[in-house]
Structure 1
Amino acid sequence: MKTYLNLGCGYRYQTGWTNVDYVSTGDGVLAHNLLQGIPFSENSFEVVYHSHILEHFSKADGKQFIQECYRVLKPNGTIRIAVPDLEQIVREYTKNLEKALEGDAKAPQDYEWIMLELYDQVVRSKSGGEMADYIFQPEIPNEDYVFARLGEEARNLRKGNLASLNQPKKEPSTPKDKRSMFRKVLSKLKNNLRQVLFQSEIKFYQENLHYITLGKFRLGGEIHQWMYDSYSLSKLLTEIGFKEVKIQTAFESQIPNWNSYELETKEGIIFKPDSLFIEAKK
Protein backbone atom coordinates (compact mmCIF):
# COMPACT_ATOMS: atom_id res chain seq x y z
CA MET A 1 0.00 0.00 0.00
CA LYS A 2 1.27 3.48 -0.91
CA THR A 3 2.13 5.79 1.96
CA TYR A 4 1.84 9.14 0.21
CA LEU A 5 0.99 12.37 2.07
CA ASN A 6 -0.64 15.46 0.49
CA LEU A 7 -0.52 18.49 2.81
CA GLY A 8 -2.82 21.47 2.30
CA CYS A 9 -4.61 19.47 -0.37
CA GLY A 10 -7.65 21.71 -0.86
CA TYR A 11 -10.04 20.06 -3.31
CA ARG A 12 -7.25 18.36 -5.25
CA TYR A 13 -6.56 15.07 -3.53
CA GLN A 14 -6.29 11.40 -4.37
CA THR A 15 -7.80 8.31 -2.84
CA GLY A 16 -5.01 6.07 -1.65
CA TRP A 17 -3.12 9.10 -0.33
CA THR A 18 -3.30 10.60 3.15
CA ASN A 19 -4.79 14.06 2.59
CA VAL A 20 -4.62 16.91 5.11
CA ASP A 21 -5.93 20.47 5.09
CA TYR A 22 -6.91 23.16 7.59
CA VAL A 23 -10.56 22.22 7.04
CA SER A 24 -11.81 18.94 5.62
CA THR A 25 -12.65 19.41 1.95
CA GLY A 26 -13.98 15.91 1.33
CA ASP A 27 -14.30 12.36 2.58
CA GLY A 28 -11.03 11.18 4.02
CA VAL A 29 -9.45 14.65 4.22
CA LEU A 30 -8.06 15.16 7.71
CA ALA A 31 -8.64 18.62 9.21
CA HIS A 32 -5.49 19.87 10.92
CA ASN A 33 -3.60 23.14 11.48
CA LEU A 34 -0.14 22.52 10.02
CA LEU A 35 1.31 25.29 12.19
CA GLN A 36 0.94 22.73 14.97
CA GLY A 37 3.12 20.21 13.16
CA ILE A 38 2.30 17.18 11.03
CA PRO A 39 0.16 14.73 13.04
CA PHE A 40 2.00 11.53 12.15
CA SER A 41 4.93 9.63 13.58
CA GLU A 42 8.41 9.80 12.10
CA ASN A 43 9.36 7.70 9.08
CA SER A 44 5.70 7.20 8.08
CA PHE A 45 5.55 8.19 4.39
CA GLU A 46 7.31 7.38 1.15
CA VAL A 47 6.20 10.71 -0.36
CA VAL A 48 5.36 14.08 1.16
CA TYR A 49 3.81 16.59 -1.24
CA HIS A 50 2.47 20.12 -0.89
CA SER A 51 1.60 22.75 -3.48
CA HIS A 52 1.40 26.51 -2.85
CA ILE A 53 1.37 26.04 0.92
CA LEU A 54 4.90 26.91 2.04
CA GLU A 55 4.65 30.58 1.01
CA HIS A 56 1.75 31.07 3.44
CA PHE A 57 4.05 30.39 6.40
CA SER A 58 6.47 32.94 7.81
CA LYS A 59 10.12 32.23 7.05
CA ALA A 60 10.65 30.70 10.51
CA ASP A 61 7.43 28.69 10.46
CA GLY A 62 8.22 27.53 6.94
CA LYS A 63 11.54 26.10 8.07
CA GLN A 64 9.85 24.30 10.94
CA PHE A 65 7.23 22.94 8.55
CA ILE A 66 9.89 21.52 6.20
CA GLN A 67 11.62 19.97 9.22
CA GLU A 68 8.33 18.26 10.02
CA CYS A 69 8.15 16.99 6.43
CA TYR A 70 11.62 15.53 6.87
CA ARG A 71 10.62 13.90 10.15
CA VAL A 72 7.61 12.02 8.76
CA LEU A 73 9.38 10.89 5.56
CA LYS A 74 10.82 7.41 5.43
CA PRO A 75 14.55 7.10 4.68
CA ASN A 76 15.10 7.68 0.94
CA GLY A 77 11.56 9.06 0.73
CA THR A 78 10.73 11.90 -1.67
CA ILE A 79 9.50 15.39 -0.87
CA ARG A 80 7.92 17.36 -3.71
CA ILE A 81 7.13 21.05 -3.28
CA ALA A 82 5.43 23.55 -5.58
CA VAL A 83 5.56 27.26 -4.74
CA PRO A 84 5.19 30.50 -6.69
CA ASP A 85 8.53 31.00 -8.46
CA LEU A 86 9.94 34.29 -7.20
CA GLU A 87 12.74 34.28 -9.77
CA GLN A 88 10.31 33.78 -12.65
CA ILE A 89 8.05 36.58 -11.38
CA VAL A 90 10.97 38.99 -10.95
CA ARG A 91 12.29 38.21 -14.44
CA GLU A 92 8.84 38.95 -15.85
CA TYR A 93 8.76 42.17 -13.86
CA THR A 94 12.11 43.42 -15.19
CA LYS A 95 11.20 42.37 -18.75
CA ASN A 96 7.91 44.28 -18.64
CA LEU A 97 9.54 47.26 -16.95
CA GLU A 98 12.16 47.52 -19.69
CA LYS A 99 9.53 47.23 -22.42
CA ALA A 100 7.37 49.89 -20.76
CA LEU A 101 10.35 52.25 -20.51
CA GLU A 102 11.09 51.64 -24.20
CA GLY A 103 7.55 52.69 -25.11
CA ASP A 104 6.08 49.30 -25.99
CA ALA A 105 2.33 49.92 -26.30
CA LYS A 106 1.30 46.63 -24.67
CA ALA A 107 3.88 46.62 -21.89
CA PRO A 108 2.04 48.85 -19.36
CA GLN A 109 -0.81 46.35 -19.07
CA ASP A 110 1.54 43.42 -18.55
CA TYR A 111 3.59 45.51 -16.14
CA GLU A 112 0.48 46.33 -14.11
CA TRP A 113 -0.39 42.65 -13.86
CA ILE A 114 3.07 41.42 -12.89
CA MET A 115 3.24 44.05 -10.14
CA LEU A 116 0.01 42.60 -8.74
CA GLU A 117 1.40 39.08 -9.03
CA LEU A 118 4.53 40.15 -7.18
CA TYR A 119 2.97 42.16 -4.34
CA ASP A 120 -0.79 41.84 -4.06
CA GLN A 121 -0.99 38.62 -2.07
CA VAL A 122 1.54 40.03 0.39
CA VAL A 123 -0.19 43.34 1.07
CA ARG A 124 -3.89 42.74 0.36
CA SER A 125 -6.53 43.53 2.95
CA LYS A 126 -9.46 41.67 1.40
CA SER A 127 -9.95 38.20 0.00
CA GLY A 128 -8.75 37.99 -3.59
CA GLY A 129 -7.21 41.45 -3.40
CA GLU A 130 -6.61 43.55 -6.49
CA MET A 131 -5.72 40.42 -8.47
CA ALA A 132 -9.34 39.30 -8.20
CA ASP A 133 -10.55 42.77 -9.21
CA TYR A 134 -8.32 42.58 -12.28
CA ILE A 135 -9.38 39.06 -13.28
CA PHE A 136 -13.09 39.73 -12.78
CA GLN A 137 -13.29 43.04 -14.65
CA PRO A 138 -15.64 42.87 -17.67
CA GLU A 139 -12.79 43.01 -20.19
CA ILE A 140 -9.19 42.08 -19.41
CA PRO A 141 -6.95 44.10 -21.75
CA ASN A 142 -4.14 41.51 -21.66
CA GLU A 143 -6.18 38.36 -21.05
CA ASP A 144 -3.82 35.99 -22.88
CA TYR A 145 -0.85 37.17 -20.83
CA VAL A 146 -2.68 36.95 -17.49
CA PHE A 147 -3.95 33.42 -18.05
CA ALA A 148 -0.63 32.28 -19.47
CA ARG A 149 0.73 33.29 -16.07
CA LEU A 150 -2.07 31.87 -13.91
CA GLY A 151 -3.30 28.87 -15.89
CA GLU A 152 -6.70 27.42 -16.69
CA GLU A 153 -7.80 27.42 -13.05
CA ALA A 154 -7.93 31.20 -13.07
CA ARG A 155 -9.69 31.27 -16.44
CA ASN A 156 -12.36 28.90 -15.14
CA LEU A 157 -12.69 30.99 -11.98
CA ARG A 158 -13.35 34.05 -14.13
CA LYS A 159 -15.97 32.19 -16.16
CA GLY A 160 -17.73 31.12 -12.99
CA ASN A 161 -17.69 34.65 -11.62
CA LEU A 162 -19.10 36.16 -14.81
CA ALA A 163 -21.81 33.50 -14.91
CA SER A 164 -22.80 34.24 -11.32
CA LEU A 165 -23.24 37.93 -12.17
CA ASN A 166 -25.98 36.95 -14.61
CA GLN A 167 -27.92 35.02 -11.97
CA PRO A 168 -30.89 36.68 -10.22
CA LYS A 169 -29.74 38.29 -7.03
CA LYS A 170 -31.19 37.01 -3.78
CA GLU A 171 -32.15 39.36 -1.02
CA PRO A 172 -29.57 39.11 1.74
CA SER A 173 -30.80 37.44 4.90
CA THR A 174 -28.46 39.51 7.05
CA PRO A 175 -28.07 43.27 7.29
CA LYS A 176 -26.04 44.77 4.47
CA ASP A 177 -24.20 47.04 6.83
CA LYS A 178 -21.92 44.86 8.95
CA ARG A 179 -21.11 47.81 11.14
CA SER A 180 -24.82 48.29 11.84
CA MET A 181 -25.19 44.60 12.72
CA PHE A 182 -22.16 44.80 14.97
CA ARG A 183 -23.57 47.85 16.76
CA LYS A 184 -26.85 46.02 17.37
CA VAL A 185 -25.03 43.07 18.90
CA LEU A 186 -23.01 45.37 21.10
CA SER A 187 -26.15 47.23 22.13
CA LYS A 188 -27.76 43.98 23.21
CA LEU A 189 -24.67 43.01 25.17
CA LYS A 190 -24.65 46.42 26.74
CA ASN A 191 -28.25 46.11 27.89
CA ASN A 192 -28.02 42.52 29.11
CA LEU A 193 -24.58 42.62 30.66
CA ARG A 194 -24.34 46.21 31.81
CA GLN A 195 -22.99 45.19 35.18
CA VAL A 196 -20.23 43.08 33.61
CA LEU A 197 -19.07 45.02 30.58
CA PHE A 198 -17.61 48.46 31.01
CA GLN A 199 -18.57 51.28 28.70
CA SER A 200 -14.93 51.71 27.70
CA GLU A 201 -14.74 48.10 26.49
CA ILE A 202 -17.83 48.53 24.33
CA LYS A 203 -16.43 51.73 22.86
CA PHE A 204 -13.12 50.01 22.15
CA TYR A 205 -14.75 47.31 20.02
CA GLN A 206 -16.93 49.83 18.22
CA GLU A 207 -13.94 51.98 17.33
CA ASN A 208 -11.67 49.08 16.39
CA LEU A 209 -13.99 46.87 14.35
CA HIS A 210 -12.05 47.66 11.15
CA TYR A 211 -8.73 46.67 12.69
CA ILE A 212 -10.15 43.50 14.22
CA THR A 213 -11.62 42.47 10.86
CA LEU A 214 -8.39 43.31 9.03
CA GLY A 215 -6.26 41.42 11.54
CA LYS A 216 -8.49 38.37 11.32
CA PHE A 217 -8.15 38.38 7.53
CA ARG A 218 -4.39 38.94 7.56
CA LEU A 219 -3.92 36.00 9.92
CA GLY A 220 -6.41 33.79 8.10
CA GLY A 221 -3.94 32.04 5.79
CA GLU A 222 -4.50 33.78 2.43
CA ILE A 223 -1.51 36.11 2.70
CA HIS A 224 1.91 35.20 1.32
CA GLN A 225 4.40 35.56 4.17
CA TRP A 226 7.56 34.52 2.33
CA MET A 227 8.67 33.74 -1.22
CA TYR A 228 11.18 31.29 -2.68
CA ASP A 229 13.35 30.83 -5.74
CA SER A 230 15.33 27.78 -6.80
CA TYR A 231 18.39 28.88 -4.81
CA SER A 232 16.69 29.69 -1.51
CA LEU A 233 14.44 26.64 -1.50
CA SER A 234 17.28 24.29 -2.47
CA LYS A 235 19.38 25.82 0.30
CA LEU A 236 16.59 25.36 2.86
CA LEU A 237 16.10 21.71 1.94
CA THR A 238 19.83 21.02 2.12
CA GLU A 239 20.20 22.74 5.49
CA ILE A 240 17.46 20.55 6.94
CA GLY A 241 19.17 17.40 5.72
CA PHE A 242 17.61 16.56 2.37
CA LYS A 243 19.82 15.32 -0.44
CA GLU A 244 19.62 15.02 -4.23
CA VAL A 245 17.71 18.30 -4.54
CA LYS A 246 16.43 18.66 -8.09
CA ILE A 247 14.34 21.21 -9.97
CA GLN A 248 11.53 19.51 -11.89
CA THR A 249 8.82 20.48 -14.32
CA ALA A 250 5.14 19.96 -13.61
CA PHE A 251 5.32 16.74 -15.66
CA GLU A 252 8.57 15.33 -14.24
CA SER A 253 8.95 13.53 -10.93
CA GLN A 254 10.75 10.76 -9.13
CA ILE A 255 7.34 9.74 -7.77
CA PRO A 256 6.15 6.70 -9.75
CA ASN A 257 3.23 7.37 -12.13
CA TRP A 258 3.25 11.02 -11.10
CA ASN A 259 1.11 12.39 -13.92
CA SER A 260 -1.64 9.84 -13.29
CA TYR A 261 -2.48 11.57 -9.99
CA GLU A 262 -3.38 14.84 -11.78
CA LEU A 263 -2.24 16.98 -8.88
CA GLU A 264 -0.40 19.51 -11.05
CA THR A 265 -1.44 18.71 -14.61
CA LYS A 266 -4.32 17.24 -16.54
CA GLU A 267 -4.41 16.37 -20.22
CA GLY A 268 -1.19 18.29 -20.77
CA ILE A 269 -2.38 21.47 -19.03
CA ILE A 270 -0.43 22.81 -16.03
CA PHE A 271 -2.71 24.03 -13.25
CA LYS A 272 -0.26 26.61 -11.86
CA PRO A 273 2.30 27.54 -14.55
CA ASP A 274 3.83 30.25 -12.34
CA SER A 275 5.24 27.55 -10.05
CA LEU A 276 8.66 26.35 -9.05
CA PHE A 277 8.66 22.54 -8.74
CA ILE A 278 11.36 20.93 -6.64
CA GLU A 279 12.07 17.48 -5.21
CA ALA A 280 14.56 16.02 -2.77
CA LYS A 281 15.34 12.79 -0.96
CA LYS A 282 15.63 12.08 2.75
Structure 2
Amino acid sequence: MKLINIGCGQTLHPDWINLDLVPSSSAVRSFDIRRGLPFADRTCDVCYSSHVLEHLQPAQASFLIAEAFRVLKPGGILRVIVPDLEQIARLYLATLEQSLSGDSQAIAQYDWMLLELLDQMTRTHGGGEMGQYLDRLNAPNADLTLDFVRSRMGAEIDNYYQAKQLTRWQKIKSKRPAWYLQKIRIKIAELFVLLIAGKQAQKGFQEGLFRNSGELHRWMYDRFSLQQLLSQTGFIEIQVCQATESRIPNFNDFGLDILQGQIRKPDSLFMEAVKP
Protein backbone atom coordinates (compact mmCIF):
# COMPACT_ATOMS: atom_id res chain seq x y z
CA MET A 1 0.00 0.00 0.00
CA LYS A 2 1.08 3.56 -0.69
CA LEU A 3 0.82 5.39 2.64
CA ILE A 4 1.36 9.18 2.85
CA ASN A 5 2.22 10.99 6.11
CA ILE A 6 1.51 14.68 5.44
CA GLY A 7 3.52 17.14 7.57
CA CYS A 8 5.06 14.36 9.64
CA GLY A 9 7.38 16.40 11.88
CA GLN A 10 9.29 13.86 13.97
CA THR A 11 6.46 11.31 13.98
CA LEU A 12 7.11 8.94 11.10
CA HIS A 13 7.47 5.32 10.03
CA PRO A 14 9.68 3.85 7.27
CA ASP A 15 6.71 2.11 5.63
CA TRP A 16 5.16 5.51 4.91
CA ILE A 17 6.16 8.31 2.52
CA ASN A 18 6.88 11.07 5.04
CA LEU A 19 6.55 14.69 3.90
CA ASP A 20 7.58 17.84 5.76
CA LEU A 21 8.80 21.32 4.92
CA VAL A 22 11.84 20.93 7.19
CA PRO A 23 12.85 17.23 7.32
CA SER A 24 13.70 15.87 10.76
CA SER A 25 15.71 13.00 9.25
CA SER A 26 16.81 11.46 5.96
CA ALA A 27 13.61 9.37 6.05
CA VAL A 28 11.56 12.53 5.43
CA ARG A 29 11.06 14.05 2.00
CA SER A 30 11.30 17.85 1.95
CA PHE A 31 8.17 19.33 0.44
CA ASP A 32 5.94 22.37 1.00
CA ILE A 33 2.46 20.85 1.31
CA ARG A 34 0.91 24.29 0.77
CA ARG A 35 1.77 23.72 -2.90
CA GLY A 36 -0.20 20.47 -2.98
CA LEU A 37 0.90 16.84 -2.82
CA PRO A 38 3.61 15.47 -5.17
CA PHE A 39 1.67 12.45 -6.41
CA ALA A 40 -0.41 11.63 -9.47
CA ASP A 41 -4.21 11.33 -9.34
CA ARG A 42 -5.65 8.20 -7.71
CA THR A 43 -2.27 6.65 -6.80
CA CYS A 44 -2.33 6.55 -2.98
CA ASP A 45 -4.12 4.22 -0.56
CA VAL A 46 -3.97 6.30 2.64
CA CYS A 47 -3.34 9.93 3.55
CA TYR A 48 -2.61 10.71 7.20
CA SER A 49 -2.31 14.20 8.68
CA SER A 50 -1.78 14.84 12.39
CA HIS A 51 -1.84 18.36 13.83
CA VAL A 52 -1.19 20.01 10.48
CA LEU A 53 -4.50 21.57 9.38
CA GLU A 54 -4.64 23.98 12.32
CA HIS A 55 -1.31 25.49 11.21
CA LEU A 56 -2.80 26.43 7.83
CA GLN A 57 -5.18 29.22 6.94
CA PRO A 58 -8.69 27.88 6.17
CA ALA A 59 -8.25 28.26 2.39
CA GLN A 60 -4.90 26.43 2.55
CA ALA A 61 -6.44 23.64 4.65
CA SER A 62 -9.30 23.26 2.17
CA PHE A 63 -6.76 23.02 -0.68
CA LEU A 64 -4.75 20.36 1.16
CA ILE A 65 -7.84 18.23 1.81
CA ALA A 66 -8.75 18.57 -1.87
CA GLU A 67 -5.24 17.42 -2.78
CA ALA A 68 -5.62 14.37 -0.54
CA PHE A 69 -8.90 13.59 -2.28
CA ARG A 70 -7.18 13.93 -5.68
CA VAL A 71 -4.29 11.56 -4.96
CA LEU A 72 -6.30 8.88 -3.14
CA LYS A 73 -7.58 5.87 -5.04
CA PRO A 74 -11.32 5.16 -4.90
CA GLY A 75 -11.84 3.54 -1.52
CA GLY A 76 -8.73 5.26 -0.15
CA ILE A 77 -8.75 6.43 3.47
CA LEU A 78 -8.02 9.89 4.85
CA ARG A 79 -7.19 10.12 8.58
CA VAL A 80 -7.04 13.64 10.04
CA ILE A 81 -6.10 14.60 13.60
CA VAL A 82 -6.43 18.16 14.94
CA PRO A 83 -6.72 19.78 18.38
CA ASP A 84 -10.34 19.31 19.47
CA LEU A 85 -11.81 22.81 19.83
CA GLU A 86 -15.04 21.48 21.32
CA GLN A 87 -13.21 19.49 24.00
CA ILE A 88 -10.93 22.43 24.81
CA ALA A 89 -13.86 24.85 25.06
CA ARG A 90 -15.89 22.51 27.31
CA LEU A 91 -12.95 21.95 29.67
CA TYR A 92 -12.18 25.66 29.72
CA LEU A 93 -15.76 26.48 30.75
CA ALA A 94 -15.80 23.70 33.37
CA THR A 95 -12.55 24.86 35.00
CA LEU A 96 -13.77 28.46 34.82
CA GLU A 97 -16.94 27.63 36.80
CA GLN A 98 -14.97 25.63 39.37
CA SER A 99 -12.37 28.39 39.70
CA LEU A 100 -15.08 30.97 40.39
CA SER A 101 -16.23 28.80 43.28
CA GLY A 102 -12.72 28.93 44.79
CA ASP A 103 -11.41 25.46 43.88
CA SER A 104 -7.61 25.89 44.08
CA GLN A 105 -6.77 22.91 41.86
CA ALA A 106 -9.31 24.04 39.25
CA ILE A 107 -7.65 27.46 39.21
CA ALA A 108 -4.32 25.89 38.17
CA GLN A 109 -6.11 23.74 35.58
CA TYR A 110 -7.97 26.81 34.32
CA ASP A 111 -4.64 28.50 33.60
CA TRP A 112 -3.63 25.56 31.41
CA MET A 113 -6.95 25.41 29.55
CA LEU A 114 -6.71 29.13 28.79
CA LEU A 115 -3.29 28.49 27.30
CA GLU A 116 -4.62 25.56 25.24
CA LEU A 117 -7.31 27.82 23.86
CA LEU A 118 -5.22 30.89 23.06
CA ASP A 119 -1.46 30.52 23.34
CA GLN A 120 -0.61 28.94 19.99
CA MET A 121 -2.70 31.54 18.18
CA THR A 122 -1.14 34.54 19.94
CA ARG A 123 2.45 33.68 20.97
CA THR A 124 5.34 35.75 19.68
CA HIS A 125 8.25 33.45 20.59
CA GLY A 126 9.03 29.74 20.51
CA GLY A 127 7.14 27.72 23.11
CA GLY A 128 5.12 30.75 24.19
CA GLU A 129 3.48 30.98 27.61
CA MET A 130 2.70 27.27 27.36
CA GLY A 131 6.41 26.42 27.44
CA GLN A 132 6.95 28.60 30.50
CA TYR A 133 4.03 26.89 32.24
CA LEU A 134 5.53 23.45 31.50
CA ASP A 135 8.92 24.57 32.83
CA ARG A 136 7.31 25.60 36.12
CA LEU A 137 5.50 22.25 36.36
CA ASN A 138 8.81 20.40 36.02
CA ALA A 139 10.32 22.24 39.00
CA PRO A 140 10.83 20.45 42.33
CA ASN A 141 7.65 20.24 44.45
CA ALA A 142 5.42 21.13 41.49
CA ASP A 143 1.75 20.61 42.32
CA LEU A 144 -0.51 17.86 41.02
CA THR A 145 -1.47 19.96 38.00
CA LEU A 146 1.23 17.99 36.15
CA ASP A 147 -1.11 14.98 36.13
CA PHE A 148 -3.85 17.08 34.53
CA VAL A 149 -1.50 18.50 31.89
CA ARG A 150 -0.18 14.99 31.17
CA SER A 151 -3.76 13.83 30.60
CA ARG A 152 -4.05 16.55 27.95
CA MET A 153 -0.63 16.22 26.30
CA GLY A 154 0.02 12.49 26.57
CA ALA A 155 3.42 11.34 25.28
CA GLU A 156 4.20 14.83 23.99
CA ILE A 157 4.94 16.12 27.51
CA ASP A 158 7.75 13.57 27.90
CA ASN A 159 9.17 14.59 24.51
CA TYR A 160 9.13 18.22 25.65
CA TYR A 161 11.05 17.55 28.87
CA GLN A 162 13.52 15.23 27.13
CA ALA A 163 14.30 17.94 24.57
CA LYS A 164 14.92 20.43 27.40
CA GLN A 165 17.57 18.08 28.84
CA LEU A 166 19.65 17.97 25.67
CA THR A 167 23.08 19.57 25.92
CA ARG A 168 24.02 22.46 23.66
CA TRP A 169 26.25 20.13 21.62
CA GLN A 170 23.44 17.59 21.20
CA LYS A 171 21.16 20.34 19.93
CA ILE A 172 23.83 21.52 17.48
CA LYS A 173 24.32 17.99 16.12
CA SER A 174 20.57 17.49 15.67
CA LYS A 175 20.27 20.41 13.23
CA ARG A 176 20.75 19.96 9.50
CA PRO A 177 23.13 22.29 7.53
CA ALA A 178 20.18 23.93 5.75
CA TRP A 179 18.82 25.04 9.14
CA TYR A 180 22.06 26.89 9.97
CA LEU A 181 22.21 28.48 6.51
CA GLN A 182 18.68 29.80 6.96
CA LYS A 183 19.58 31.17 10.41
CA ILE A 184 22.55 33.07 8.94
CA ARG A 185 20.33 34.59 6.23
CA ILE A 186 17.79 35.69 8.82
CA LYS A 187 20.43 37.31 11.04
CA ILE A 188 21.78 39.26 8.06
CA ALA A 189 18.25 40.40 7.14
CA GLU A 190 17.56 41.43 10.76
CA LEU A 191 20.74 43.52 10.77
CA PHE A 192 19.72 45.33 7.59
CA VAL A 193 16.25 46.07 8.99
CA LEU A 194 17.82 47.44 12.18
CA LEU A 195 20.22 49.69 10.27
CA ILE A 196 17.57 50.96 7.85
CA ALA A 197 14.41 51.21 9.97
CA GLY A 198 15.44 50.95 13.62
CA LYS A 199 14.92 48.63 16.57
CA GLN A 200 11.11 48.69 16.56
CA ALA A 201 11.01 47.67 12.91
CA GLN A 202 13.53 44.90 13.63
CA LYS A 203 11.27 43.61 16.41
CA GLY A 204 8.29 43.61 14.03
CA PHE A 205 10.37 41.78 11.42
CA GLN A 206 11.37 39.11 13.96
CA GLU A 207 7.79 38.64 15.12
CA GLY A 208 6.57 38.39 11.53
CA LEU A 209 9.13 35.68 10.76
CA PHE A 210 8.09 33.76 13.86
CA ARG A 211 4.39 33.99 13.03
CA ASN A 212 5.16 32.45 9.64
CA SER A 213 7.48 29.75 11.00
CA GLY A 214 4.70 27.16 11.25
CA GLU A 215 4.46 27.06 15.04
CA LEU A 216 1.28 29.12 15.31
CA HIS A 217 -2.27 27.86 14.92
CA ARG A 218 -4.11 29.62 12.08
CA TRP A 219 -7.49 27.97 12.75
CA MET A 220 -9.26 25.48 15.01
CA TYR A 221 -11.72 22.67 14.28
CA ASP A 222 -14.48 20.76 16.02
CA ARG A 223 -16.28 17.60 14.88
CA PHE A 224 -18.86 19.59 12.91
CA SER A 225 -16.52 21.97 11.05
CA LEU A 226 -14.03 19.22 10.18
CA GLN A 227 -16.84 16.96 8.98
CA GLN A 228 -18.15 19.81 6.82
CA LEU A 229 -14.72 20.36 5.29
CA LEU A 230 -14.34 16.68 4.39
CA SER A 231 -17.90 16.35 3.12
CA GLN A 232 -17.70 19.45 0.92
CA THR A 233 -14.52 18.05 -0.64
CA GLY A 234 -16.35 14.86 -1.61
CA PHE A 235 -15.39 12.37 1.10
CA ILE A 236 -17.97 9.92 2.42
CA GLU A 237 -18.29 7.60 5.44
CA ILE A 238 -16.93 10.37 7.66
CA GLN A 239 -16.52 9.17 11.24
CA VAL A 240 -15.11 10.45 14.50
CA CYS A 241 -12.97 7.68 16.00
CA GLN A 242 -10.78 6.99 19.00
CA ALA A 243 -6.99 7.19 18.82
CA THR A 244 -6.83 3.39 18.86
CA GLU A 245 -9.46 2.92 16.13
CA SER A 246 -8.83 3.03 12.40
CA ARG A 247 -9.95 1.54 9.12
CA ILE A 248 -6.32 1.62 8.00
CA PRO A 249 -4.98 -1.98 8.14
CA ASN A 250 -2.66 -2.56 11.14
CA PHE A 251 -2.58 1.18 11.82
CA ASN A 252 -1.56 0.94 15.49
CA ASP A 253 1.57 -1.00 14.51
CA PHE A 254 3.01 2.15 12.94
CA GLY A 255 3.23 4.11 16.23
CA LEU A 256 1.81 7.32 14.81
CA ASP A 257 -1.05 7.99 17.24
CA ILE A 258 -0.19 5.40 19.91
CA LEU A 259 3.31 5.25 21.40
CA GLN A 260 4.06 2.32 23.75
CA GLY A 261 0.38 2.04 24.61
CA GLN A 262 0.00 5.76 25.29
CA ILE A 263 -2.01 8.19 23.17
CA ARG A 264 0.43 10.67 21.65
CA LYS A 265 -1.99 13.61 21.66
CA PRO A 266 -5.06 12.99 23.87
CA ASP A 267 -6.34 16.55 23.32
CA SER A 268 -7.16 15.64 19.72
CA LEU A 269 -10.12 15.06 17.46
CA PHE A 270 -9.58 11.92 15.35
CA MET A 271 -11.58 11.63 12.13
CA GLU A 272 -11.50 9.33 9.13
CA ALA A 273 -13.20 9.46 5.74
CA VAL A 274 -13.26 7.49 2.51
CA LYS A 275 -12.93 8.59 -1.11
CA PRO A 276 -15.89 7.17 -3.10
For the superposition of Structure 1 and Structure 2, which TM-score range results when normalised by the shorter chain?
0.7 to 0.9
Pair 184,89 (structure 1): closer, same or farther in 2 beyond 3 Å:
closer
Measure, in 1, the Cα distance between the counterparts of 2:162 and 2:194: 46
| 2:125 pairs with 1:122 | no
**1: CA distance, partners of 2:224 / 2:30:** 32
- CA deviation digits over 1:163-192, x for unaligned, max 9? 35899xxxxxxxxxxxxx879955xxxxxx
Aligned counterpart in structure 1 of residue 158 of structure 2, from 155, 158, 167: 155
In the alignment, what sits opposite 2:2? Answer: 3
- Structure-2 change in CA distance of 1:184 and 1:58 (3 Å): closer
Looking at structure 2, the residues matched to 130 and 206 of structure 1 have their Cα atoms a distance apart, in angstroms, of 24
Counterpart Cα distance in 2 of 1:260 and 1:88: 27
Partner secondary structure for residue 208 of structure 1:
helix
Give how far 1:207 is off.
4.5
In structure 2, do the counterparts of structure 1 residues 110 and 32 end up closer, same or farther at CA, with 3 Å as the change threshold?
A: same
1:84-121 superposed Cα distances (whole Å, 9 cap, x missing partner): 00011001001101101122121110000100011000
SS at match of 1:50: strand
**Range with greater deviation from structure 2 (203-212 or 249-258):** 203-212
Task: Point out where structure 1 has 5 or more consecutive residues left out of the alignment.
Answer: 168-180, 187-199
The secondary structure found in structure 1 opposite 2:104 is coil
SS at match of 1:106: helix
Once residues 83 and 104 of structure 1 are traced to their aligned partners in structure 2, the CA distance between those partners, rounded to angstroms, is: 30
Per the TM alignment, residue 25 of structure 1 is displaced from its structure 2 partner at its CA by 2.0
TM-score (normalizing by structure 2): 0.86
Q: 1:208 aligns with which of 180, 201, 210?
A: 201
The 5 A counterparts of 1:65-76 are 65-76=64-75
Which residue in the other structure is 2:91 paired with? 92
Which amino acid letter does the alignment assign opposite residue 108 of structure 2? Q
Structure 1 Cα separation of the partners of residues 201 and 259 of structure 2:
46
- How many residues are paired up? 256
Distance 2:190 2:48 in 1: 46
**C-alpha displacement at 1:24, in angstroms?**
2.0
Q: Give the direction of change, closer, same or farther, for the CA distance of 1:31–1:182 in structure 2 (3 Å limit).
A: closer
Give 1 or 2 for the bigger CA radius of gyration. 1
Question: TM-score of the superposition, structure 1-length normalised?
Answer: 0.85
The CA deviation string for residues 20-46 of structure 1, in whole angstroms up to 9 with x for no partner, is 100222223110111111111111101
| Counterparts of residues 99-118 of structure 1 (less than 5 Å) | 99-118=98-117
Which sections of structure 2, spanning at least 5 residues, go unmatched?
A: 170-186
Assess if the C-alpha contact under 8 Å between 2:190 and 2:202 holds in 1: no
Going from structure 1 to structure 2, the CA distance change for 1:166 and 1:256 (only over 3 Å counts) comes to closer
**Identity across the alignment (%):** 39
Please identify, of 124-133 and 99-108, the stretch whose mean Cα deviation from structure 2 is larger. Answer: 99-108
Task: Give the whole-Å Cα distance in 2 for the aligned partners of 1:250 and 1:117.
Answer: 20
Q: Which moved more, 1:14-23 or 1:228-237?
A: 14-23
Q: Which residue in the other structure is 1:272 paired with?
A: 265
Per the alignment, residue 248 of structure 1 pairs with 241
Question: What residue number does 1:47 align with?
Answer: 46
User: Which letter does structure 1 place at the counterpart of 2:227?
Assistant: S
Report the aligned-residue RMSD.
2.5
Change (3 A) 1:93 1:207: closer
Separation in structure 1 between the aligned mates of residue 105 and residue 26 of structure 2, nearest angstrom: 46
Letter in 1 for 2:240: I
C-alpha offsets along residues 221-277 of structure 1, whole Å, 9 cap, x if unaligned?
110000001111011100110000001111000000011011010232001000100
Separation in 2, partners of 1:99, 1:261: 40
* Contact 1:183 1:206 survives alignment (8 Å): no
